[in-house]
Amino acid sequence: MDELDIRNFVEALKQGKISPEKAIERLRKLPYEDLGFAKIDHHRSLRQGYPEVVFARGKTLRQVREIVRGMLRAKASHNILITRADKKMFAAVKRLAGKRAGSARPEFHELSGTIAILRDRAIRGKGLILVVTAGTSDIPAAEEALVTARAMGNRVEAIYDVGVAGLHRLLEHRQKLAEARVIICVAGMEGALPSVVAGMVAAPVIAVPTSTGYGSSFGGMTALLAMLNSCASNVSVVNIDNGFGAGCVASVINHL
Amino acid sequence: MDELDIRNFVEALKQGKISPEKAIERLRKLPYEDLGFAKIDHHRSLRQGYPEVVFARGKTLRQVREIVRGMLRAKASHNILITRADKKMFAAVKRLAGKRAGSARPEFHELSGTIAILRDRAIRGKGLILVVTAGTSDIPAAEEALVTARAMGNRVEAIYDVGVAGLHRLLEHRQKLAEARVIICVAGMEGALPSVVAGMVAAPVIAVPTSTGYGSSFGGMTALLAMLNSCASNVSVVNIDNGFGAGCVASVINHL
Amino acid sequence: MDELDIRNFVEALKQGKISPEKAIERLRKLPYEDLGFAKIDHHRSLRQGYPEVVFARGKTLRQVREIVRGMLRAKASHNILITRADKKMFAAVKRLAGKRAGSARPEFHELSGTIAILRDRAIRGKGLILVVTAGTSDIPAAEEALVTARAMGNRVEAIYDVGVAGLHRLLEHRQKLAEARVIICVAGMEGALPSVVAGMVAAPVIAVPTSTGYGSSFGGMTALLAMLNSCASNVSVVNIDNGFGAGCVASVINHL
Amino acid sequence: MDELDIRNFVEALKQGKISPEKAIERLRKLPYEDLGFAKIDHHRSLRQGYPEVVFARGKTLRQVREIVRGMLRAKASHNILITRADKKMFAAVKRLAGKRAGSARPEFHELSGTIAILRDRAIRGKGLILVVTAGTSDIPAAEEALVTARAMGNRVEAIYDVGVAGLHRLLEHRQKLAEARVIICVAGMEGALPSVVAGMVAAPVIAVPTSTGYGSSFGGMTALLAMLNSCASNVSVVNIDNGFGAGCVASVINHL
Amino acid sequence: MDELDIRNFVEALKQGKISPEKAIERLRKLPYEDLGFAKIDHHRSLRQGYPEVVFARGKTLRQVREIVRGMLRAKASHNILITRADKKMFAAVKRLAGKRAGSARPEFHELSGTIAILRDRAIRGKGLILVVTAGTSDIPAAEEALVTARAMGNRVEAIYDVGVAGLHRLLEHRQKLAEARVIICVAGMEGALPSVVAGMVAAPVIAVPTSTGYGSSFGGMTALLAMLNSCASNVSVVNIDNGFGAGCVASVINHL
Amino acid sequence: MDELDIRNFVEALKQGKISPEKAIERLRKLPYEDLGFAKIDHHRSLRQGYPEVVFARGKTLRQVREIVRGMLRAKASHNILITRADKKMFAAVKRLAGKRAGSARPEFHELSGTIAILRDRAIRGKGLILVVTAGTSDIPAAEEALVTARAMGNRVEAIYDVGVAGLHRLLEHRQKLAEARVIICVAGMEGALPSVVAGMVAAPVIAVPTSTGYGSSFGGMTALLAMLNSCASNVSVVNIDNGFGAGCVASVINHL
Amino acid sequence: MDELDIRNFVEALKQGKISPEKAIERLRKLPYEDLGFAKIDHHRSLRQGYPEVVFARGKTLRQVREIVRGMLRAKASHNILITRADKKMFAAVKRLAGKRAGSARPEFHELSGTIAILRDRAIRGKGLILVVTAGTSDIPAAEEALVTARAMGNRVEAIYDVGVAGLHRLLEHRQKLAEARVIICVAGMEGALPSVVAGMVAAPVIAVPTSTGYGSSFGGMTALLAMLNSCASNVSVVNIDNGFGAGCVASVINHL
Amino acid sequence: MDELDIRNFVEALKQGKISPEKAIERLRKLPYEDLGFAKIDHHRSLRQGYPEVVFARGKTLRQVREIVRGMLRAKASHNILITRADKKMFAAVKRLAGKRAGSARPEFHELSGTIAILRDRAIRGKGLILVVTAGTSDIPAAEEALVTARAMGNRVEAIYDVGVAGLHRLLEHRQKLAEARVIICVAGMEGALPSVVAGMVAAPVIAVPTSTGYGSSFGGMTALLAMLNSCASNVSVVNIDNGFGAGCVASVINHL
């Protein structure tokens, strides 16, 4: 009974405006679709303005296909995002989408493995979300963040390869940094970029550690820990390589 | 030359509106004060609307006293925050503040060891920041977040002890959760609260893991990792027990 | 509306047997008491037959006292358990309990720091819960398990210091092991006891790693990991030193 | 001399009812079969009502085949379970089973790689074992638990994809959760589901962390730690992805 | 029935040479003494020539006193070793030992906290056990090894402070190293000494990592890992600071 | 404005010696080239005498090719180094270099995957850099260090397979060790070599842990930790397998 | 000057019995062969009675071949052991050995990847080395230990699959355990076997953790830690899967 | 025979210029003093120009006193450094030094616990060693580095509290950074300072992680890992809080 006014509901029931059966059903039914192995939460899209999202890794091709089929079936015009997908999944999704007249064309962002079906391209986020990376190898996570934030209705721009060991490359983009309403800062290795960037701006900085690096970078753990211990206080952190999460958090903030 | 319009500066110099000496000084001088062992960054307060902050742990009593003296000396009416302080430090700060007529009275928040000198009590944050804890033992970190967010000009409220193993306690506060513009979610042990709370709202959720717990909670590491792996996508995370950081991030967002 | 039959409730409302005000209240009110910094969940005791429990570590003396005062105030005859307490807390609890005529006398179990106020001594668990330790240093966690299981209405016995490097000590207690309906197996260091015990019986074995040991025992981590990797398949594990949890799980099983 | 009454044995020996040779043999012989590289423990099946189990990972195809051949050779009608197997092993097992008239047909559960030869389909467990997963990617471990618990003679049902960030999906299944005698709760990522589920029921909850997730989920370590630190006290935990263990523990409890 | 010849026992029983009661008792009784919270294993001393050992850490003063009282009560002339003890425990042990005429005087080795009561000073080990340390701070663990090996009847010598960064100090002791039958090599920090020593001799080298060091020495973990990865192949390792274990292993080998 | 004398610049501007446009450009422009996904920092080569370096791992073939193309395009005669490359990348680089008349021929060092294009073979480093390895499996990291140091204009020699368990192999090279101005010491497993080598010389020793080893060598973590805890005080450490970093640090020192 | 009597050498030099050239050479020359990328230490075999050993993992086929060629070239009749090799390496070694008349035939032990060329089959170890495994999956490490100990001139036997959850399987082999002079105990998962075995015997027990297991077994780390924390005191430990090391240590002890 | 020319020695012996006794003595004797529990290595000071150093932590007061007494007794005019000492040790050292006429007065540096007895104040290092810290809490480690480098004959300066979140504070010191021949960069928390500093200069940067911070800073582990993964290639790293090591390495380099 999330959005229900309890008083109204009780009154309606009292006055016979709702039959007991309807009332019971209403108390029970929630807007999601049950595929058995997965429950599609149309409700969440309704409630939070999120796209419908499938995290493809760890799911079989068949499972992904069934979930996307269910999403496309729903009349809603929400965007659809499939993260950590591969080429086979993209081919399957293209076939599914092709059958439905009027449906938007799926796009595949290869570096990050993100499939986006943008059925709604309106910009509702209030400002600019800026995605910044320390190196070239951080681009996959940055791309996932960028595609996610766009699918959630934001204006997004990116600056790549401005790591802290060459400050002049970063300092040149001060203007753009100052312009951004939210910054997503993507870095592997020592994960120092968010501290430096956050010290230069007043905006919230979402730090994304990446698994870029080797040896004692421990698959991104070092960058993650560094970011959590940032001496800048406008920084918060998401999981390693979690471009999707960063895009979501940034979008949620940018819609405030 | 952060906020300077380079063109204007160059033009002014060219036209002699600024003397070379002034220009050199301007290129050199930045608004911070050098105590030798510490540099007070009045600049940051100016630029980002932050209070002046001292992280007291790891500093000697003498160092804290000197830094606070410098902060009080500055004419600015910024709030002053001393985190992770103890009673001795509070006594010293009270003595320092007492000497200055018109200065605000320092308050000591004992559970978290936070000293606040609120010289400016205006509310500039746009909405409500809500601080939620899973248990009673999480209150110290929550208090630090609360005091910080207040010192940064926000309306803040708190709900304590609503952990996920007793969902009814949490569900009762749905209204308040829905009302918040930003939520700070503080939990130790398994760190599950942010996932549940974030699933109930559309607001950004700042998760603060605490060192509450024992054994394999590893001083908050378990809660931290759990929060980083949250299945809710509107969650970002700060360091263990970092109530200060959460308060800052929440405030920065709430000022957008 | 946990235990409510929704149909009955709706029907009663429909027929006017419950006034709208009552209905609203019923939908809102849940049996817990709010102390601000803590919420006493009388509800859980009602629902699950649990004692009311306070985990004292990380709480101030004042907080523990207020919570216990609330628990004693409630008319219910549930047992009260305060774990990880110290002597000061025990003194405070004794003072509180002494004021209430007819209240059971608090007992203090010093090795584990457990305070028990047994207002209900009925045995409702169906069989014997047996607590077994590898060494003498494992007794604190074992005692916490034992006191917990007793406070939850079970017959409990203990065998101490029967570690696997002296098999004959363990083998001598085969009969007792076979008699138990649930076994709690407490061990530090290499944590091997649960594997050996579980291989000898058909009962479920709850393994409790302890922080006994030094060096690479890592405060119980080694024992914990060993138990999770047990080659016996009737073993499940709780947190390091979590005698309370083991006692609860064993009691829940023993009440089936 | 596990189940022997020592008194009876000694008396029989004394009275000549057992010849010395028999007595020696009896003291020596235990019901297992030695294949050199492996010892099949028919004894365990006899004693604990377990199926005969082969953990296939880390064994060569030849080794698995020889062990299963030995199990099929034994006259006992115990069920046979081969976990973590692949298609090649299944083919070999099918060939072996096919040769024996009257033998049950092996089934292959592909997501988890579990092969079951159910020669005994009687239900002896007293209640319902319910397997619940947080996500779709947790199904492999859930399937292993489900197949195991069935092979051990239990009624088992499953609810998939009811993670804590969408509480309404979980809350809808309250009735079923309340009905279960034992619950197996399978989750990766932040591993929060067992805490929430355990807070809703009085039954014992066996938590199974899965290696679902990425980055700082550390192959399931995060979920494992979270579950061990659950604030719900009717939770115990098995190894990461250990559906088999969870099925065993649940069955052992359900047979009490 | 460890050391019993089963045939003889059965025959004796058969022929009535042992009464059923005796037989039962014999099957049951094993030479240890049960103090409730601890079981003194006189048996182990008998079987393995070990001293009776109490690991004092994690035991209360009362527990240590009761165990030692039991050990002194036994007629056996085994040596008694109390490791990780403090001055209070030593005082209590001295009082206990003083009461028994003819009992050996307890000695306290302060750096390691080892108490030894040597009732049997015969040398039965075949060669020299040499204890070598990398630094002065490693002496406590070395002393524990040395006292243990002596209490187990070995000739033991020590060379201290011959770390690998000053090879000449080590090389000077080549003769002594070559003379040893077993070498115990104690080192903290980078734990390199065992590799170098083991490369110089043909004897088995028992490596003891110590918690000497700071920062990334992680309480001895670094030395432990280094020793486990030694490129010398005559090295085996015991737990961090486990001088007692090293002394035992060395003694067991030296008695072969 | 790194190398600019601020005074001169300001004066020139004042006096009209620089036009405002030039001044603005000068404040803006920095000597790097922007490829969008990567920024080639010619500046760094100019400033620090470094070769232009591409870390190929984590970059696509296309990205590497574009970056190298940009580097070759620049007129500068800096050496070019591509580390962690594979054969395909080498083929592409050869094709690129072939097209440019006069360009140096790329060499491929297969064990380490390093491609070097040496356009400048002058020796500017003042002394000998000596690369020493503990084993044969450490050669890849050593080769990377060697090629890097050569590309940076140093005389470099190597001694392989002189691990500490066979001291005589190492001691034989004392002369060469004493001759070196900087030593790079490469070792996996227990990582003891730098301590021993550093104790023998007065030169700075750069320690490179390698991922050589298995089990508890944890991909080089053990060697890394050992080296950080070296009891020799002229040792500093770089990341696991970071031959490139060691080569750079050694070269920077050797150019002093 | 390891084995030299310094006095004799000095005297001989003084008396002209050794020419200065010879003396210099003697001080310089040590019995190893330098292949550039590897140094074959014939010296070690001479000094310690070891076989010549190549650890093949991390070496190229070419490197292994060159090293083995050098070993075969040496006239010595030492055994040759190549560990962690694959089939290609075995083929190459067979070809090399085939060319030398009279050379022993290489054998390939496939589970562990060990190649042995036994040119000397004399038994010089004094007693029996017994290799015991907890499970079938532990056989590869056990086989490496067994082949190593045999190549070093010992009588070796093996008992497989006697894990602690089925004690009767282990107890049946008491006689054989008692007979062994040294025991090598191989186990993965919870690594409990060495504690139980060591408690049953007086012989030294070398524990070998294996990477058998999954999830929180962390590639053998759990077994390793458990073994290091064994409550039995006649246990020492080698690296994960280090059958070779265990075989060496056992042999060194067995030759005492 | 470290520094001996073997040829000369052999020749001298041959010609009778050295008596056999002298030769033997010479081969044996090395310039260190044996106190039993410690060996004072005067040799190292001679060979490497190091001060004589005592690492006081983990040593008893008595041990430190004896070692310092030995150092003062030696005629050499080397400086003496006692690191990680406390006030009691300083008092003892003052008393010892006071007794010796002409001996330099010990100084106590309280933040780091370093005692220096400077008997030789000559500057032999070629350039400036600059110590830079990120925060005020990093000063103890910086002070240890500074005192060490001074005791080793270097000109040293320090800049404190110039962390990367306030770049302008750091950028202001560019001139000084450029002037330094070697830079020691001390930082806790996210450890980002060395990357930024190293990118600004061509000098070698020695990074010192500190245990400053809390929660997931893990006692300096996070800063350590970040520094090891620095994207700047002129950075090498020493142990956490190892100011002494950094001072040594910097001095060794500065003497080249």
Closest CA to G85 of G55, G52, G106: G55
Considering only residues E9 and G175, tell me which one the structure prediction assigns the higher pLDDT.
G175
Neighboring chain H residues of E176 at a CB cutoff of 8 Å: none
Question: Using one digit for the tens of pLDDT, what is the confidence trace for H230-248?
Answer: 999 999 999 999 999 999 9
- Looking at residue E102, what is its pLDDT? 63
pLDDT of residue A201 exceeding 80, the answer is yes
- Looking at residue D1, what is its pLDDT? 34
pLDDT of residue G101 exceeding 80, the answer is no
CB contact under 8 A, B24 and F16: no
**Are D and E close enough to touch, i.e. 3+ CB pairs under 8 angstroms?**
yes
Considering only residues C76 and B104, tell me which one the structure prediction assigns the higher pLDDT.
B104
**How far, in Å, CA of G115 to CA of G98, rounded?**
14
Determine contact, residues B191/B226, Cβ cutoff 8 Å.
yes
Reported pTM: 0.89
Tell me what the pLDDT averaged over chain H comes to.
87
Question: Using one digit for the tens of pLDDT, what is the confidence trace for F82-101?
Answer: 999 999 999 999 999 887 75
Question: Using one digit for the tens of pLDDT, what is the confidence trace for H74-119?
Answer: 766 789 999 999 999 999 999 998 877 566 899 999 999 999 999 9
Question: Could you give the angle at the alpha carbon of A176 between the alpha carbons of A175 and A178, nearest 5°?
Answer: 65
CA distances (Å), origin D2, targets A96, A221, C178, C206, D7: 62, 50, 9, 22, 13
Considering only residues A82 and E102, tell me which one the structure prediction assigns the higher pLDDT.
A82
Q: What is the pLDDT tens value at each position of chain E, 256 positions in all?
A: 333 344 566 566 667 777 655 655 444 344 457 777 777 765 555 555 678 899 999 999 999 999 999 888 876 678 999 999 999 999 999 999 887 756 689 999 999 999 999 999 999 999 999 999 999 999 999 999 999 999 999 999 999 999 999 888 899 899 999 999 999 999 999 999 999 999 999 999 999 999 988 999 999 999 999 999 999 999 999 999 999 999 999 999 999 9
Considering only residues B155 and E23, tell me which one the structure prediction assigns the higher pLDDT.
B155
Using a CB–CB cut-off of 8 Å, the residues of F that contact E are 134-135, 163-167, 189-192, 195-196, 198-200, 213, 215-218, 221-223, 225-232
CB contact under 8 A, C225 and G230: no
| Neighbors of chain E by Cβ distance (3+ pairs < 8 Å) | C, D, F, G, H
CB contact under 8 A, D14 and E16: yes
**How far, in Å, CA of B194 to CA of E133, rounded?**
51
Highest-scoring range by mean pLDDT, C15-19, H49-53, H105-109: H105-109
- Looking at residue G73, what is its pLDDT? 83
Neighboring chain B residues of D135 at a CB cutoff of 8 Å: 231
CB contact under 8 A, C203 and D229: no
Q: Is D228 helix (H, G, I), strand (E, B) or coil?
A: helix
Closest CA to H165 of F139, D45, A198: A198
- Looking at residue D209, what is its pLDDT? 98
- Looking at residue H75, what is its pLDDT? 62
D7: confidence class by pLDDT, cuts 50, 70, 90 = low
C251: confidence class by pLDDT, cuts 50, 70, 90 = very high
Q: In angstroms, what separates the C-alpha of D36 from chain G's closest C-alpha?
A: 7
Nearest Cβ partner for D192 among B135, B190, B213: B190
Structure tokens given for C164? 């696997």
Q: In angstroms, what separates the C-alpha of F218 from chain G's closest C-alpha?
A: 10
CB contact under 8 A, D234 and C249: yes
**Are D and H close enough to touch, i.e. 3+ CB pairs under 8 angstroms?**
no
H48: confidence class by pLDDT, cuts 50, 70, 90 = low
Using a CB–CB cut-off of 8 Å, the residues of B that contact D are 134-135, 163-167, 189-192, 195-196, 198-200, 213, 215-218, 221-223, 225-232
Q: Which of C41-55, F47-61, G236-250 has the lowest mean pLDDT?
A: C41-55
**CA end-to-end span of chain C, whole Å?**
24
- Looking at residue H5, what is its pLDDT? 42
- Looking at residue A101, what is its pLDDT? 58
CB contact under 8 A, H39 and E215: no
**How far, in Å, CA of D216 to CA of A58, rounded?**
16
pLDDT of residue C6 exceeding 70, the answer is no
Tell me what the pLDDT averaged over chain D comes to.
87
- Looking at residue D112, what is its pLDDT? 96
- Looking at residue E74, what is its pLDDT? 74
CB contact under 8 A, E20 and D27: no
In one letter, which amino acid is C69? R
String of DSSP letters for chain E: --SS-HHHHHHHHHTTSS-HHHHHHHHH--S-EE-SS-EE-HHHHHHH-PPEEEE-TTS-HHHHHHHHHHHHHS-----EEEES--HHHHHHHHHHHHTSTTPPPPEEETTTTEEEE-S-----SSSEEEEEESSGGGHHHHHHHHHHHHHTT-EEEEE----GGGHHHHHTTHHHHHH-SEEEEEE-TT--HHHHHHHH-SS-EEEEE-S-S-GGGGGGHHHHHHHHT-SSTTEEE--TT-HHHHHHHHHHHHT-
In one letter, which amino acid is F178? A
- Looking at residue G99, what is its pLDDT? 73
- Looking at residue E81, what is its pLDDT? 95
Distance from CA of residue C57 to its chain's centroid?
A: 15
Q: Which of A101-105, B47-51, D67-71, F65-69 has the lowest mean pLDDT?
A: B47-51
Q: In angstroms, what separates the C-alpha of G99 from chain E's closest C-alpha?
A: 31
pLDDT of residue G83 exceeding 90, the answer is yes
Considering only residues G209 and B30, tell me which one the structure prediction assigns the higher pLDDT.
G209
Question: Using one digit for the tens of pLDDT, what is the confidence trace for A15-73?
Answer: 777 765 665 544 433 445 777 777 776 555 555 567 889 999 989 999 999 999 988 88
ipTM of the complex: 0.85
Considering only residues G12 and A157, tell me which one the structure prediction assigns the higher pLDDT.
A157
**How far, in Å, CA of H82 to CA of B141, rounded?**
39
Q: Which of A48-52, B251-255, E9-13, G230-234 has the lowest mean pLDDT?
A: E9-13
Q: In angstroms, what separates the C-alpha of F165 from chain G's closest C-alpha?
A: 10
| Neighbors of chain A by Cβ distance (3+ pairs < 8 Å) | B, C, D, F, H
Q: Which of G18-22, H61-65, H195-199 has the lowest mean pLDDT?
A: G18-22
* Beta bridge pairs of residue D40: D33
Q: In angstroms, what separates the C-alpha of G179 from chain F's closest C-alpha?
A: 31
- Looking at residue G74, what is its pLDDT? 74
Question: Using one digit for the tens of pLDDT, what is the confidence trace for F108-144?
Answer: 999 999 999 999 999 999 999 999 999 999 999 999 9
Cβ neighbours around A65 below 10 Å, total: 17
Average pLDDT over residues F220-240: 96
Determine contact, residues D241/G214, Cβ cutoff 8 Å.
yes
G2: confidence class by pLDDT, cuts 50, 70, 90 = very low
**How far, in Å, CA of E239 to CA of E221, rounded?**
9
**Are D and G close enough to touch, i.e. 3+ CB pairs under 8 angstroms?**
yes
- Looking at residue D10, what is its pLDDT? 56
Crossing angle between the packed helical segments B20-28 and F6-14, to the nearest 10 degrees: 140
pLDDT of residue H210 exceeding 90, the answer is yes
G21: confidence class by pLDDT, cuts 50, 70, 90 = low
- Looking at residue E36, what is its pLDDT? 77
Nearest Cβ partner for H160 among B37, B84, B209: B37
- Looking at residue D8, what is its pLDDT? 62
How many CB pairs below 8 A link C and G? 119
Q: Which of E29, E43, E239, E242 to mutate to test the interface with C (most CBs of C within 10 A)?
A: E239
pLDDT of residue B3 exceeding 80, the answer is no
pLDDT of residue A242 exceeding 60, the answer is yes
Q: Which of E7, E10, E22 to mutate to test the interface with D (most CBs of D within 10 A)?
A: E10
Q: Which of E4, E8, E14, E19 to mutate to test the interface with D (most CBs of D within 10 A)?
A: E14
**Are B and E close enough to touch, i.e. 3+ CB pairs under 8 angstroms?**
no
pLDDT of residue F194 exceeding 60, the answer is yes
Neighboring chain E residues of F222 at a CB cutoff of 8 Å: 222, 225-226, 228-229
Neighboring chain F residues of E231 at a CB cutoff of 8 Å: 134-135, 163-165, 189-190, 192
CB contact under 8 A, D253 and C228: no
CB contact under 8 A, A253 and B253: yes
